[in-house]
Amino acid sequence: MNGKFWKGFIGILTALFVVIQGVCLPVTEVHGEDLTLESPSVILMEPSTGQILYEKNADEQRHPASVTKVMTLLLAFEQIGAGKMHMTDIVTVSAHAASMGGSQCFFEAGETQTVEDMIKCIIIASGNDAAVAMGEHIAGSEEAFVAMMNEKAAELGMVNTHFVNACGLDAEGHLTTARDIALMSRELTTKYPEVFNYSTIWMDTITHVTARGASDFGLSNTNKLLKTYPYCTGLKTGYTSGAGFSISATASKDGINLIAVVMGASTKEIRNSEVCKLFDYGFANCRMYQDEEVLRNGVTVPVKQGQSETVSCVPEQNSFFYMLTRDQVPEQMNKEINYSELSAPIQKGAVIGEAVYYYDGQRVGAVPLLAAEDVEGITYGFCFKKMLYHLFFVKPSEGQNPDVEEGIEEGSTEAASSMDETSDSASQTEAAEETLAPEEPGTEPTETEATETEQSTVE
């Protein structure tokens, strides 16, 4: 029989297997009751906020198996995002990488593949040889790449993690936790969502080119939840005899994204079933609070001793998100705008306040508020020019700074004092000045409130 027949036959068997598994793993409804899970260590996270929705022994160190490859992928996508590596770059497989056991894509020493095909081999087929080859390509050696992995883990606050290799084969000291896996999975999926273009591939093919010629090699996703759980979007499975069955799984439904990590399950069926329970629990008990307008346009803050009496204020980000769980209601969410007491000089981009969000009186998050422009401090020359404006009823047009008015030169402190003491014209028009002239430097306008509270909306 030819190769096409066997490919078709294998495809039919795979589809039948998926259907049977789907029957065994229905999407169930979970409404608020505590979960009872057999797996020794689990966690459920909402990635946009980092909120932990459920956990069990989440800080217990365990062998991660191929879930390790989440970090390998994260560093690869970081290199691509920084322009240091491209999907079309060529990766050469070393003898060391080709010698990896366990799940593999059966590369030969000296064989080459593109970065993109290596990513497919890592995330779809969980190729240990591909993971090590990628690490060597990025850092020069697996040892140097593992150092990068541990450095990134420390940066992300993965305090209970230590990597020994790039692929996840059991090794002494190669340990992490469910919480730490959720942290690196969050970093990968929120910073580089293009990873879902690969984690959702069910089957694909690469081409081996060796001294014996070219041959196709099929890739089949190790994450069967892609076919058995309708909202699953990834991410990475793992199994060794020492680690048991583990997974970092992602799912998305109605605008809510979740990360579920299960470590050390005794069977693949328990692992997959309990991931589904975690997802069902999250989707049933969570809804996203979203404030699309952290700060309304045109808000200004008073500035003392500045050439401008106010500074415009903008939020660091336009939206704020918070996951409401169980019996939480949006009516209990409040926002308070707090500004600092400001004195010039002020640089554009400086933090001058924050929008603080409270749920039922408890602080749950904040968005920094930034200065939208520079504000320079007042100088003797600035004061002198402003005095002349007052004296002769010269009022600058809207938005015009006295410093740039033609015909006015820098003065001295003595000139400003003399003008203030001897100007008969100024004393004759004192009442008119009070009406027309701008406020003196250092005074605070009464129109601008320093603190305001707004009720936000939920979508």
Q: CA-CA distance, 181 to 71, in Å (whole number)?
A: 9
Give CA 399 to chain center in angstroms. 39
CA dist., res. 119 & res. 219, Å (int)? 12
> Of the listed 39, 41, 56, 69, which one is catalytic?
69
Residue with tokens 């005074």: 443
Active site residue 348: no
- CB-side neighbour CA atoms (13 Å) of 131: 31
69/85 Cα distance (integer angstroms)? 18
CA distances from 37 to 198, 235, 238, 270, 354 (A): 30, 21, 19, 9, 41
The CA-atom distances, in angstroms, between 202 and each of 15, 111, 113, 140, 197 are 11, 25, 20, 31, 11
CA 192 distance to own-chain centroid: 9
- Which residues fall within 8 angstroms of residue 126, CB to CB, at 6 or more apart? 66, 69, 103, 222, 236, 237, 238
Q: How many angstroms separate the CA atoms of 40 and 57, rounded?
A: 7
Residue with tokens 């069910």: 202
Residues 347, 277 contacting (CB under 8 angstroms): no
| Catalytic residue, candidates 39, 41, 48, 66 | 66
Asked if residue 250 lies in contact with residue 234, where contact means CB atoms within 8 angstroms, the answer is yes
Q: Which helix (H) or strand (E) holds 302?
A: strand 300-304
Q: Residues 290, 324: contact at Cβ < 8 Å?
A: no
Q: In 18-169, which ranges are E strands?
A: 41-46, 51-56, 90-92, 112-114
The strand pair at 342-343 and 300-304 is best described as parallel
Q: Residues with catalytic annotation?
A: 66, 69, 126
